[in-house]
Amino acid sequence: MAHIILASSSPRRRELLAQLGLEFDILSPDIDESVQAGESVAAYVERLARAKADAVATQYPDAIIIAADTSLGVDGEILGKPESKQHAFAMWRRISGRQHDVYSGVCILSKNEKYSIVVRTQVHFQALSLDDMECYWATGEPIGKAGAYAIQGIAARYIPKIEGSYSNVVGLPLYETVQLLQTVKALN
């Protein structure tokens, strides 16, 4: 089997990829994650996934690189990771009591091929009270998470329904990742 590298520092992506039974190394590239003017959420996550793959490929040109990026979209606006408690509360007010989209860009890069895809999942979030927000923030779970929540954790209590890939919301859409890996013949 080819040498596979996950271009991500996300422990959630590491856990998800491990579920597939693959052996892989981890290398977290340092790229500029600034949003470009007028960039859609889908274009943003795909661009970042491709940039992460490219950055790692310069060091390991013979490896198969798996790179991904995940962000939330509300009314066309990108919601990233919270910078503070106030920022998290502002994000929760935006998604409280309504549906939002979670987008992941995935890029698979091998020596001769480069494929990328964007996966979208709709997440329905219950209305949050100020007390809900205070209690959830106090858990520490929202820190470092896109949209300031983790569906695989305590935040599951606030999510009555999703439409699409659960693993996408966690950070790596597994079905689509496997399809891309099969395209580059990294899996038998």
CA-based nearest residue to 101, from 77, 117, 67, 82: 77
The whole-angstrom separation of Cα 142 and Cα 81 is: 8
Are the C-beta atoms of residues 6 and 26 closer than 8 Å to each other? yes
Give Cα 124 to chain centroid, integer Å: 17
Q: What are the residues whose beta carbons fall under 8 Å from the beta carbon of 22, sequence distance 6 or more?
A: 4, 187
Catalytic residue among 62, 69, 75, 101: 69
Q: What number of helices (H) and strands (E) belong to the chain?
A: 6, 7
32 carries an active-site annotation: no
CB-based burial of residue 152 (10 Å sphere; 0-12 exposed, 13-18 middle, 19+ buried)? middle
The residues pairing with 4 across neighbouring beta strands, listed in sequence order, are 64
- Residues involved in catalysis: 69
